[in-house]
Amino acid sequence: MPENKKITPQKPDPEEEKKKQQQMQRRMSFSVSYLLVGMVVLWLFQEFVLTPMLIQASEIPYSEFKQKLADNQIVKVTLRDNDIIGEMKNPTPNATPATIPFETIGNAESDPKLVEQLQSAGVSFDFQRPPSPIGSFFVAYLLPLLLLGGFWYLMYRRTTGGAGGGLGSIFGVGKSKATEVKAEDVGVTYKDVGGADEAIGELQEIIQFLKTPEQFAKLGGRIPKGVLLIGPPGTGKTLLAKATAGEAHVAFFQTSGSEFVEMFVGVGAARVRDLFEQARKAAPAIVFIDEIDAIGQSRAGAVRIGGNDEREQTLNQLLAEIDGFQTTHIAPVIIMAATNRPEVLDPALLRAGRFDRQIAVGNPDLTGRLQILKIHSKGIKLAPDFDWERAARMTPGFSGADIANVMNEAALLAARRNADSVTLADFESAIERVVAGLEKRSRVMNEDERRTVAYHESGHALVAELVPHGDPVSKISIVPRTRGALGYTMQMPTEDRYLLTMEELQDRIAVMLGGRAAENVVCGEISTGASDDIMRATELARRMVTEFGMSEKLGSVRYAGQQLQYLGGAVEDSSNVSQETREIIDREVQRLVTEQYERAQNLLREHRAALEKLTQLLLAKETVDGSAVKAALGKG
Ligand code: ADP
Ligand code: ZN
Ligand code: MG
């Protein structure tokens, strides 16, 4: 059941959601407006070009035509192949127009006397060639198509930023959607960023350059144009970029890679150009492209579904812009970008002269977490005895965003119990809440189930205490949680760990399987409650075999696919692993897991009495802390 290691962001960030929605709306309204304008253009064409050309003259019988001719009513005619068109006097005298068009079927061939009669009546007449089929095709089909095409071309020219202009600019699709924050409105500085001292150190040079570009120009050094912030989600990359603008006191243009990805080829590229144009005007400035992997994905390799044209053009435009503009001391512009998937970035982006400064932003260490805690408790009333140090120790592996979230939850919990300050206990509950979800006391479990859960959790806790490298248990609970856990055991590492030995990993697997082991030892029966434990144990064992080279049979060879640096695990890709090797991997994984399962069971059999004692205590109190585990084992 949940272990205090990693937490996933709880709810989608409402701001992100809003942004996405807005973007969708923009896209929708763009296509709708395109459709509307297209329709209007067609209508205009029909109304004012096509219709007047085809104006229908009233058709009259040939006899009537002859009658009118005899009555001197006809003014002029054109004799065509199969019909005659012309104008006759308006039957109502003095009305406007004086003449009206008419049309009648018949020709000079079928009425040989016609020409003579026309001549004697003094009507002006002429003959007409049969209409060329190409001509009418042109008018009816080709012309509207050409018009539409021309319209499209204008838009295209506009969006790709050519000299076009005109119609396309109505929509402003090629406009960059970056938000510009004026230097005086940035409002964050490095004081608001905790635990990122190395990154801040590396950014000092950029700030110096933005502040006093002349000095750099004097010495003739080449200034880095691009800085890429790399790190897991929530570590403050966006914050750091903005704070850099705040420190240097320059304008900040923030945009996200996804805003360049539109359905029309060329739009993204136009936006890139527009963005840089704006930035140059506002210089000195920082242009920040968040989640740059959305456009900067490697063009080679990974097969992507759908057209890559748009992405590729945008990326090319970005590269061209970066190459093209000179970070002069007159208009210094620095490009910053952030990603948590550096492995997918196109190498062209990373080469010298582009994003050649790469700064890693990692999850904060203990001191970093302490700083972040202090930053995020500024507006919060803490109890006078709030132990910062302990609070920081409780959050290993948490990112800055996680810590901010926990601190906020703690304040909410304190408010809920009408307290006037936030205590460490609130903070601890907030961690639980974030890691495991809210308590769900309303769920009624029958006595048997409660007992099983109590044995299960006691098993985890005891094994954690009994193996040499187990992280100390801080809390055990059998109160069901909204996230589905029926109980949980929380472990609190004493220090941040960066390297783990094989023995430590084996101990972890044993602890994960301690729950099921207890069920089996006590009841001789196992339940479904361990599926998550099993999944995590198997995953870890597999990584030990395929990534960490911890199996003697397979040696120090990597069998896993491409590494995902910050998002955990590796891409499943065993295409270059033979069938036999795969079988050995499976067997080794199974061996690792089974060995630890046996080990956990043996430990619990040895300490059967302690297991019983802890379980009874849990059933009585529902939640106990780490000292109860030690007490059950008779360790003071
Ligand atoms: P990223 O861009 O790396 O995903 P963000 O910069 O968007 O992370 O961080 C989200 C929020 O988390 C920030 O607005 C800030 O409140 C908090 N946060 C993250 N890292 C830190 C940090 N190092 N110091 C202070 N606050 C942080
Ligand atoms: Zn469990
Ligand atoms: Mg971000």
Question: How far is it, in rounded angstroms, from Cα 286 to Cα 288?
Answer: 6
DSSP 149-178: HHHHHHHHHHHTTSS--GGGGGT-TTS--P
**Least confident window among 18-27, 246-255, 320-329, 358-367:** 18-27
Band of residue 514 on the pLDDT scale cut at 50, 70, 90? very high
Q: Which of 87, 291, 457, 588 is catalytic?
A: 457
If you measure from the C-alpha of residue 624 to the centroid of ligand 3, how many angstroms do you get, rounded to a whole number?
A: 38
Same domain, 267 and 187: yes
Residues 199-234: tens digit of each pLDDT: 999 898 888 888 887 777 777 766 677 899 998 888
Mean pLDDT over the full length of the chain? 80
**Which of 157, 330, 337, 169 is closest to 244 using CA atoms?**
337
Length in residues, the chain: 636
Asked if residue 236 has its Cβ within 6 Å of ligand 1, the reply is yes
Same domain, 470 and 508: yes
Same domain, 352 and 397: no
Residue 1 lies in a domain: no
Query: Which residues are paired to 127 by β-bridges?
Result: 79
Backbone region of residue 524 per phi and psi (left: phi > 0; alpha: psi in -120 to 50; beta: other values): left
Q: Which ligand 1 atom sits closest to the C-alpha of 338?
A: 2
Residue 60, pLDDT above cutoff 70: yes
| Residue 5 DSSP class | T
Task: Give the CATH number, domain containing residue 476.
Answer: 1.20.58.760
Q: From the centroid of its chain, how far is CA 114? A: 79
Residue 172 lies in a domain: no
pLDDT value at position 309? 67
Six-digit token string for 439: 């308590």
Six-digit token string for 98: 């004086």
Residue 273 lies in a domain: yes
Please tell me the residue having the least CA distance from ligand 1 atom 9: 236
Residue appearing with tokens 């972040």: 372
Residue 527 lies in a domain: yes
> Is-cis flag, bond preceding 284, omega within 30?
yes
Residue 260 lies in a domain: yes
Residue 512, pLDDT above cutoff 50: yes
Percent of the chain with pLDDT over 70: 81
Residue 464, pLDDT above cutoff 60: yes
If you measure from the C-alpha of residue 368 to the centroid of ligand 1, how many angstroms do you get, rounded to a whole number?
A: 12
The whole domain housing 83 covers: 58-130
Question: How far is it, in rounded angstroms, from Cα 542 to Cα 545?
Answer: 5
Which ligand lies nearest to the CA atom of residue 511 in the structure? Answer: 2
Asked if residue 289 has its Cβ within 6 Å of ligand 1, the reply is no
Same domain, 611 and 546: yes
Mean pLDDT computed over 444-466: 90
Residue 442 lies in a domain: no
Question: How far is it, in rounded angstroms, from Cα 178 to Cα 546?
Answer: 43
571 three-class SS: coil
Q: At what angle do helices 579-606 and 502-523 cross, to 10 degrees?
A: 60
Expressed in percent and rounded to 5, the helix, strand and coil fractions of the chain are 50, 10, 35
Among 436, 458, 473, where does a domain finish? 436
Question: How far is it, in rounded angstroms, from Cα 600 to Cα 591?
Answer: 14
pLDDT value at position 164? 36
In this prediction the pTM is 0.64
Burial of 119 (C-beta count, 10 Å sphere; 0-12/13-18/19+): exposed
**Distances from the Cα of 215 to the Cαs of 201, 203, 205, 209, 266, in angstroms?**
19, 17, 12, 8, 39
Backbone region of residue 434 per phi and psi (left: phi > 0; alpha: psi in -120 to 50; beta: other values): alpha
Higher pLDDT pick, 341 / 512: 512
**Which of 356, 353, 413, 358 is closest to 380 using CA atoms?**
413
Same domain, 461 and 553: yes
Same domain, 87 and 115: yes
Residues 281-340: tens digit of each pLDDT: 887 889 998 888 887 776 655 445 445 666 777 787 888 877 776 656 677 888 899 998
Question: How far is it, in rounded angstroms, from Cα 332 to Cα 337?
Answer: 17
Same domain, 191 and 140: no
Residue appearing with tokens 């000079």: 108
Q: Which ligand 1 atom sits closest to the C-alpha of 371?
A: 24
Which ligand lies nearest to the CA atom of residue 536 in the structure? Answer: 2
Task: Give the CATH number, domain containing residue 117.
Answer: 3.30.720.210
Same domain, 427 and 501: no
Residue 68 lies in a domain: yes
Question: How far is it, in rounded angstroms, from Cα 505 to Cα 503?
Answer: 5
Residue 329 lies in a domain: yes
Residue 170, pLDDT above cutoff 50: no
489 three-class SS: strand
Which ligand lies nearest to the CA atom of residue 258 in the structure? Answer: 3
Q: Which ligand 1 atom sits closest to the C-alpha of 241?
A: 6
- Cα angle 37, 42, 46 (rounded to 5 degrees) comes to 145
Best probe residue, ligand 1, of 238, 239, 408 (max atoms within 8 Å of C-beta): 239
Residue 168, pLDDT above cutoff 50: no
Same domain, 277 and 418: no
Same domain, 150 and 252: no
Q: Which ligand 1 atom sits closest to the C-alpha of 364?
A: 23
Asked if residue 196 has its Cβ within 6 Å of ligand 1, the reply is yes
**Least confident window among 18-32, 38-52, 306-320, 552-566:** 18-32
- Residue type at 511? V
- Residue type at 5? K
Please tell me the residue having the least CA distance from ligand 1 atom 14: 239
Asked if residue 242 has its Cβ within 6 Å of ligand 1, the reply is no
The answer to whether 175 touches 191, Cβ cutoff 8 Å, is no
Same domain, 603 and 466: yes
Question: How far is it, in rounded angstroms, from Cα 473 to Cα 475?
Answer: 6
**Distances from the Cα of 389 to the Cαs of 95, 118, 302, 430, 498, in angstroms?**
101, 113, 45, 16, 20
Asked if residue 237 has its Cβ within 6 Å of ligand 1, the reply is yes
What strands lie across the sheet with 357-360, from one edge to the other?
179-181, 251-256, 285-290, 333-339, 226-230, 357-360
Same domain, 42 and 143: yes
If you measure from the C-alpha of residue 363 to the centroid of ligand 1, how many angstroms do you get, rounded to a whole number?
A: 10
Band of residue 56 on the pLDDT scale cut at 50, 70, 90? low
Residues 565-585: tens digit of each pLDDT: 565 555 555 567 788 888 999
**Which of 362, 296, 335, 399 is closest to 565 using CA atoms?**
362
Which ligand lies nearest to the CA atom of residue 190 in the structure? Answer: 1
If you measure from the C-alpha of residue 8 to the centroid of ligand 3, how many angstroms do you get, rounded to a whole number?
A: 15
Six-digit token string for 229: 């912030």
Task: Give the CATH number, domain containing residue 379.
Answer: 1.10.8.60
Highest mean pLDDT among 71-85, 509-523, 565-579: 509-523
Asked if residue 200 has its Cβ within 6 Å of ligand 1, the reply is no
Q: From the centroid of its chain, how far is CA 358? A: 21
Band of residue 50 on the pLDDT scale cut at 50, 70, 90? low
- Cα angle 519, 523, 526 (rounded to 5 degrees) comes to 50
**Number of domains forming the structure of the chain:** 5
Residue 373, pLDDT above cutoff 90: yes
Residue 410, pLDDT above cutoff 90: yes
CB-proximal residues (5 Å) to ion ligand 3: 238
The answer to whether 457 is a known catalytic residue is yes
